[in-house]
Chain A
Amino acid sequence: MTIPTKQLGGLLGLCWLLLAGCGDQPWNSPYPASDQDANIHYSSFEERPKHLDPARSYSSNEVVFLGQIYEPPLQYHYLKRPYELIPRSAEAVPEPVYLDAEGKALPADAPADAVAYSEYRIRIKPGIRYEPHPAFARDAAGDHVYHDLDARALEGRHSLQDFSRTGTRELVAADFVYQIKRLAHPGLHSPILGLMSEYIVGLADYAATLGRAWNELKQEAGDSDGLYLDLRDHPLAGAEVIDRYTYRIRIQGRYPQLVYWLAMPFFAPVPWEVDYFFSQPGMKARNLTLDWYPVGTGPYRLTVNNPNLEMVLERNPHFRGETYPTEGEPGDREAGLLDDAGRSIPFINKAVFKLEKEQIPYWNKFLQGYYDSSGISSDSYDQAIKVGEGGEVGLTEQMRDKGISLQTAVATSIFYMGFNMLDPVVGGDSESARKLRRAIAIAMDYEEFVAIFLNGRGVPAQGPIPPGIFGHRDGEAGINPHVYDWVDGRPQRKSIEEARRLLAEAGYPGGRDAETGSPLVLNFDTTGGGPDDKARMDWLRKQFDKLDIQLVIRATDYNRFQDKMRNGTAQIFQWGWNADYPDPENFLFLLYGENSKAEKNGENAANYRSAEFDRLFERMKNMDNGPRRQAIIDEMLAIARRDGPWLWGFYPKSFGLHHAWLKNNKPNLMARNTLKYKRIDTDLRKRLRREWNAPVVWPLALVAGVLVVAVVPAWIGYRRRMHMRGRRD
């Protein structure tokens, strides 16, 4: 058989094309050959960010991008611990000025009930400029080029690249005020509007005013497409411009946590021109929104937003410039974290985030050097981590041979098991209910849970405040004395006999109701319940079996589970919380009675309410960190541990792996703008990638050989059959 010349040419052309695409880089490289020497950071994302509008975004997978693009007034120091706020676009961390009801200034140590308002005056650095954007483009007459677009002008435009002209302008204080007003915009549904309305003066009324104005606009136009609600026409008493570079936020009473919010994208500047640009008719229908195309002053700008494939951040040509920190905590210098001290940042030109939905291909590509960093899934844990005899974790030989480094940190998060305090059996503040909860808390062996299900990646919790947050105490002073004893310099869980004794005192000797003799049956409400969860559920039942308590797993879908939690009909449940900011208030408010989920739709999922705890919380939340605050927190923790609305669960530990070419890695669980500190040794990466990914072609020859061997008998059989037929005929 001959192959026609035309087809052969096509085949060769295709091969050439594929090889040309590879260039001199490994065949299995998922990146263009032209990028192999480029200063690009490669990472991934698992699911599409839902929101990139700074007024709406509230998820950790979104802030990975927003943190590099938007510049709120403050940021966390990259190296120092405990976490410390430093200026970002602001000139300094603002100090509040306390005012009484008449507006007279009060001393800094004025009692909280005397403070009617707190005023934060924020001065921003002059000369900061926005990234290039069509919203700023002006013509020779000084008019905005793209501020008067109609449907015809938008034809064929589906991305920002379709607008040929761009411009920029200086960042001004009014942009920060504009964004604070946007939190109340009725079309944006900002998740922090409710919270901020309690603090920012006039914000609740402002939201109502905007709501009315928005409805009027909609009624006039008949549709919300193409409507622009000019927030500059609506003043807000709690956020005002003082001068070109200064603005003021006025807060009801004291709210020291405001400064932490000032480090989040919610308080980043948004220029009105951009808001106006995206509000034009037809923009939304073409997927052109601020929720999709963020516009900031940060070190990077989003140049490709194709979350079905990749998201690309590139250096913002107008970035104001910043330098790498010159100080850190002890050990940072020795770890090489201060080698770049004082150098201009960012170091990396471009960051490519690829969509990776599955762990296995992601992990394999990390090992091939195509991702610079990786977490560790349970599938790859044994391949990456070796646990020593003393329980210490280290890298396996395979990882060390590749020069991979491991970094661990206890997350500022908690996963706990809660009791619904409204439940007649496990809830309430009676002594017997307390003893029942305490007995269960002793029986639930979280040390075992962490060892079995988390491969040791967690720390059993002694209370709601994780390590690294003010208020957390290490050592004997920090243990939960109702569940642990301090033995030989470490916490030791009380014996199961003690738990049984407590259970009997609670009225359930041997796991049976002392009055009726019926077995104690408790319900665990959870989502899922599929084969993947079976081992955990079995383990959970086993813990309750220790006390002869029957545990019924009430598995349901996520929506119904949420309904149960909101209605307060769950009995025992698992829940988690990830810190918004490194302040004890952000954890202790999860137990504050006024935040009850069933009664107030708040974040207190256990519906715990203790007058004593609440009173202390109200005092503690507005205090500055110090011995007085610590003493109150200790008191609060003692109450919470005594009442036991939660089994305190565990604080997860994050494990991160980094290739040798990625420099300046230090886990910072509060800062999300860390890309600018990272540096890549591109030569080393290129060399190692080639070394690790040399194509192995002999199996192809083997397969071809096997095919030939298989074809030969077929060919012989064919010939024989042809021959036989010829003879018969």
Chain B
Amino acid sequence: MLAYILRRVLYALPILIGVNLITFALFFVVNTPDDMARMHLGMKRVTPEAIERWKDEHGYNMPLLYNAESGGLDSLTETIFFEKSVKLFAFQFGQSDSGRDIGHDIRQRMWPSLLIALPTLLLGLVVYLSFALLLAFFRGSYIDIGGVVLCIILMSISALFYIIGGQYLVGKMLHLVPISGFDTGWQALKFTILPVLIGVVAAIGSNGRFYRAIFLEELGRDYVRTARAKGTSEPRLMFRHVLKNAMIPVLTNIVVILPLLFMGSLIMESFFGIPGLGSYTIDAIQNQDFAIVRSMVFLGSVLYILGLLLTDISYTLVDPRIRLS
């Protein structure tokens, strides 16, 4: 397994370089270093000298990808791309263009994102699996048909509607929890209830249907018939056999999104005023802070690759027949 992991890590390197290059190209197609300087220096009374000084100070006065004035290897290393990218591979995110320590900001802001995302994931998992098992158990009945119709209705509603509707109903009309906001320590709990609830409800439709389909597929397999023939009770069959054997697609669905939990939810964080990594990235894009954008994209890529690796490893845990080689 170690060789497999090592090989996957080595495969990841060109992927990360590619992602970095694409991010770099996309960012600088839209923003030039002069634009960035103007954005950071403000809109009023900015002189060309101030722009040049800002670029000089922040290392944006070099060519983007190729330095024709330098020779040999320097023509590639004395560029903005090299200077700004190489330290990422050592997870040194450096300072944002506005002078903040990005690593410190990420460490601070991942917790609010996790505080919302983890309970949403765990509670959601319990709800979606239970709901899907219920529908699978009553397959073909009115309960199943009603459940599927409900899923389709829930899937058809925009995520924004859940957020605004949830805030309006629970926070504004019923006065049960704060409409938005966040706090530190235990005080944060009351701010997590509504976003978690909305996060879970908003995904019941899609996840309910997805897991139901998986369970129905499992229910048609030979081992289920054999178990029934041997007198296994229906609840035991569902929870001990069907659920266990359906774990591979379930795990694929979960582990892949695990890294994304760190990255936060863009809309949810914005509407609830949650100071997570989602809003951090959005703010950076709006403020043309390339240092943060590239760091977040890099981090997202690393976590995604890690997630895929974890998925592969988790397969071996739930299915002893699978070997990584």
Q: Which residues of A contact B (CB under 8 A)?
A: 14, 17-18, 21-22, 26-30, 32, 47-48, 50-51, 58-59, 158, 186-187, 189, 191-195, 224, 284-287, 289, 291, 306, 308-309, 354-358, 360-361, 364-365, 367-368, 557, 559, 562, 601, 603, 693-697, 699-700, 713-714, 717-718, 721-722, 725, 729
Contact = CB atoms under 8 A, between A and B. Distances in A.
A191 B46 contact: yes
A696 B176 CA distance: 7
Interface of B: 30-32, 35, 38, 40-42, 44-50, 53-54, 57, 95, 98-101, 104, 108-109, 134, 137-138, 141, 143, 164, 167-168, 171-184, 186-187, 189-191, 231, 233-234, 270-273, 275, 279-280, 283, 286-287
A22 to B, nearest CB: 7
Classify the secondary structure of B's interface with A.
Answer: helix
B277 to A, nearest CB: 10
A696 B47 contact: no
Classify the secondary structure of A's interface with B.
Answer: loop
Contact of A32 (B30, B187, B280, B286): B187
Contact of B283 (A47, A192, A356): A47
Contact of A603 (B45, B143, B286): B45
A357 B270 contact: yes
B100 A287 contact: yes
A441 to B, nearest CB: 26
Question: Most chain-A Cβ atoms within 10 A of its Cβ — which of B30, B141, B176?
Answer: B176
Contact of B190 (A22, A360, A697): A22
A189 B54 contact: yes
Nearest to B231: A729
B32 A559 contact: yes
Contact of A356 (B47, B54, B189, B273): B273
B236 to A, nearest CB: 12
Nearest to A225: B95
B26 to A, nearest CB: 13
A559 B45 contact: no
A289 B101 CA distance: 11
Contacts of B134: 714
17 contacts: A17-B186, A21-B187, A191-B46, A285-B95, A286-B104, A291-B99, A308-B280, A309-B182, A309-B184, A358-B270, A360-B164, A360-B167, A360-B271, A365-B179, A368-B179, A603-B44, A714-B138
B217 to A, nearest CB: 20
B143 A713 contact: yes
Nearest to B134: A714
A697 B174 CA distance: 7
Contacts of B47: 193-194, 601
Given A50-B40, A361-B271, A308 B175 contact: no
A26 B175 contact: yes
Contact of A30 (B38, B99, B180): B180
A193 to B, nearest CB: 7
B50 A194 contact: yes
A15 to B, nearest CB: 11
B174 A695 contact: yes
Contacts of A192: 45
A191 B172 CA distance: 43
Nearest to B178: A30
Contacts of B189: 14, 17-18, 21
A191 B182 CA distance: 34
B273 A29 contact: no
A335 B272 CA distance: 37
Contacts of A284: 95, 99
Contacts of B174: 695-697, 699-700
Nearest to B54: A189
B99 A721 contact: no
Contacts of A601: 47-48
B175 A693 contact: yes
A714 B143 contact: yes
Nearest to B191: A30
A26 B47 CA distance: 52
A27 B175 contact: yes
B35 A562 contact: yes
Question: Most chain-B Cβ atoms within 10 A of its Cβ — which of A358, A361, A725?
Answer: A361
Nearest to A47: B283
Contact of B177 (A28, A557, A717): A28
A727 to B, nearest CB: 14
B179 A364 contact: yes
B109 A308 contact: yes
Given A22-B190, A700-B176, 16 more contacts: A18-B190, A21-B186, A32-B187, A50-B98, A189-B41, A191-B50, A194-B45, A194-B50, A284-B99, A286-B101, A287-B100, A355-B273, A361-B171, A364-B168, A559-B30, A700-B174
B283 A48 contact: yes
Contacts of A700: 174, 176
Contacts of A195: 45
Contacts of A355: 273, 275
Given A189-B54, A694-B175, A718 B101 contact: no
A195 B181 CA distance: 41
Contacts of B182: 309
Contacts of B179: 28, 30, 361, 364-365, 368
A354 B40 contact: no
